[in-house]
Structure 1
Amino acid sequence: MNQSNSNYILTASCPSRIGTVDVVTRFLCESGCYISELNSFDDELNQRFFIRVEFAQEGSGKFDEKAFKQGFGERSKAFDMEWELTDKSYRPSVVIMVSKYDHCLNDLLYRYRTHNLPVDIKAVISNHEDLRSLAQWHDIPYHCFPISHETKSQQEAQVQQVLDDSGCELLILARYMQVLSDSMCEQWSRKAINIHHSLLPGFKGAKPYHQAYDKGVKLVGATAHYVSSDLDEGPIITQGMANVNHTYYPKDLIKKGKDIEALTLAKAIQYHIEKRVFLFNDKTVVFERS
């Protein structure tokens, strides 16, 4: 096997029927493409098939993306496939929103600086000034737009202007402690990822980790999901969890929770970028990395 071209990712979904895997793999074989990773899932309840393939063209010839799209488009019509071809090296433009908590932002900026997060971070937006120096240390533009109940629509207009100017393709809420309006949630549906704690059982409101401590919680965790107008109830991408016990005081639960939040958010972003997440009927199919 001799690969001289970039790796590509082909993702597709369609109604369940015989031949769905064959139509994809046979076309790749006939096109001289070597498959390096393949994941598929057939949802029996919804009668929906999902497939993700990483591949590269063998030989010294340059991969003809236009011809590939035209050929596969014709081949897949009989299966009513919805599909997308992505160059694996593509780095989407990202904007991060944050309030005062720095753990998720710091983790993402470190991964970005060390080339472990294949994105192009265009800006950090906050409703506080607290984290400006952190963003500036990484040479990332920082925009502070304070918000109140009376200025919410004006503030979101300022945010949207930055998103438009930066060509943002993925909006990351890295502990942004404000609720987005329904219109903004709709506009950024499937393009915005949020992170929040997921203590078991659930504790809402002020000081959730203190509430958890008072109840003797035994599990702490975090959930990363796509933003929706239902607060913290969007389609789930990844979840993290850790066992705790009676020796964990509130400060220990908070520390553990922050670690899990940062890792869970980073994993969700990675999966989104690598086209491992499929959305259907507001539920996700996620092909995790082995």
Structure 2
Amino acid sequence: MSSASVILQLICPDRPALVSELAGWVAANGGNIRHADHHTDSGAGLFLSRIEWDLQGFGLPRQAIPSAADSLAQRLGGEAQLHFSDDHPRVAILVSKQSHCLLDLLWRARSGELPMQVPIVIANHPDLESSCKEFGVPFIHVPVTRETKAEAEQTILELLIEHRVELAVLAKYMQVLSGTFLRQFPNVINIHHSFLPAFKGAQPYHRAWERGVKLIGATSHYVTEELDDGPIIEQTIAHVSHRDEVQDLIRKGRDTERLALARALRLHLCRQVIVYRGRTAVFA
């Protein structure tokens, strides 16, 4: 296992010599750079950077690095987020009845492929409790109806706070989170069973089959108040043919959903995603 690293994500106005200045700041503190990825959005006049270096041997103590990074960002007129690779966020998984995404995420977390802790699974149906028991993950059933939606969301918010959750993943949760919920807990990733922006909403595979598409896909994105319109993190595709029926599209679609969600979550956990102006820059 590699030693811990420091990850700096930066957005600032673009100007010459920014790459040199960032690398020089790390080098001046004795840092050994592992990865450096940069992007200039010329239309927005912005410079985006993800730079990662070894924590061991760095000249600043761990607890002093965040404030030093903030000072650097202020000097550049931008904003920075600092993370450490050995910090494994606490992630809640929200589900309904379908198990394929849940089981995939729990397996990847247990194997160490996803650097996260899963303190709780929250479900609006009781069907997947036994699956969670197999992985030793607490399962809580919070029923949701049209009449009880606000009460259910409040219960979920309280559970997220109680379990010190930093990120929620909708692994086929099949419920639309309200704006009230998202304003209190905005850190949510969703998997949508279509290649957005095509076929938003319900039954996308049925509509794709009716249109005779030759490719279907899945999209993992950050959740916003507008349905299926949040910044996209990852998309995957599968080929279909004229011989495929709706159930074939659904079967193939499950594979794309698992892969898109797992990839998106890993990109987020490894701090390879920067969200800006309603879109993402993904340093993969």
Q: Give, in angstroms, the shift of residue 72 of structure 1.
A: 4.2
Q: 2:115 and 2:8 mapped to 1: Cα distance?
A: 18
Instruction: Give the stretch that moved more between structures: 193-202 or 104-113.
Output: 193-202
What corresponds to 2:231 in structure 1?
235
Q: Give, in angstroms, the shift of residue 208 of structure 1.
A: 3.2
Q: 1:215 and 1:7 mapped to 2: Cα distance?
A: 48
What corresponds to 2:193 in structure 1?
197
Inter-CA distance 35–221: structure 2 relative to 1 (3 Å threshold): same
1:174–1:195 CA contact under 8 A, matched in 2 = yes
Q: Give, in angstroms, the shift of residue 169 of structure 1.
A: 0.2
What corresponds to 1:11 in structure 2?
9
SS of equivalent to 1:231: coil
What corresponds to 2:121 in structure 1?
124
Q: Give, in angstroms, the shift of residue 130 of structure 1.
A: 0.7
User: Which of 27, 33, 50 is residue 31 of structure 2 equivalent to?
Assistant: 33
Q: Which amino acid aligns with 2:109?
A: Y
Q: 2:170 and 2:13 mapped to 1: Cα distance?
A: 33
Inter-CA distance 114–252: structure 2 relative to 1 (3 Å threshold): same
Determine whether 1:221 maps to 2:221: no
Q: Give, in angstroms, the shift of residue 69 of structure 1.
A: 3.9
TM-score by length of 1: 0.91
SS of equivalent to 1:33: coil
SS of equivalent to 1:66: helix
What corresponds to 1:64 in structure 2?
61
Q: Tell me the C-alpha RMSD between the 2 structures.
A: 2.0
User: Which of 50, 53, 56 is residue 51 of structure 2 equivalent to?
Assistant: 53
What corresponds to 1:274 in structure 2?
270
Inter-CA distance 169–204: structure 2 relative to 1 (3 Å threshold): closer
What corresponds to 1:155 in structure 2?
152
Deviation track 1:20-54 (CA, whole Å, cap 9, x = no partner) reads 21221001111111111110001101111111011
Instruction: Give the stretch that moved more between structures: 271-280 or 4-13.
Output: 4-13
1:200–1:220 CA contact under 8 A, matched in 2 = no
Deviation track 1:141-191 (CA, whole Å, cap 9, x = no partner) reads 1111111111111111111111010000000000111111111122232x1
What corresponds to 2:247 in structure 1?
251
Could you tell me which runs of 5 or more consecutive residues in structure 2 were left unpaired when the two chains were aligned.
Answer: none
Inter-CA distance 73–148: structure 2 relative to 1 (3 Å threshold): closer
2:91–2:167 CA contact under 8 A, matched in 1 = yes
Instruction: Give the stretch that moved more between structures: 245-254 or 100-109.
Output: 245-254
Aligned pairs for 1:93-172 within 5 A: 93-172=90-169
TM-score by length of 2: 0.93
Q: Give, in angstroms, the shift of residue 75 of structure 1.
A: 4.1
Deviation track 1:91-144 (CA, whole Å, cap 9, x = no partner) reads 000100011111110110110111111100011101101111001111111111
Q: How many residues align?
A: 283
Deviation track 1:205-264 (CA, whole Å, cap 9, x = no partner) reads 654323322332211001111111101111111111122111222222111100001100
SS of equivalent to 2:97: coil
Q: 2:42 and 2:87 mapped to 1: Cα distance?
A: 33
Could you tell me which runs of 5 or more consecutive residues in structure 1 were left unpaired when the two chains were aligned.
Answer: none
Q: Which amino acid aligns with 1:113?
A: R
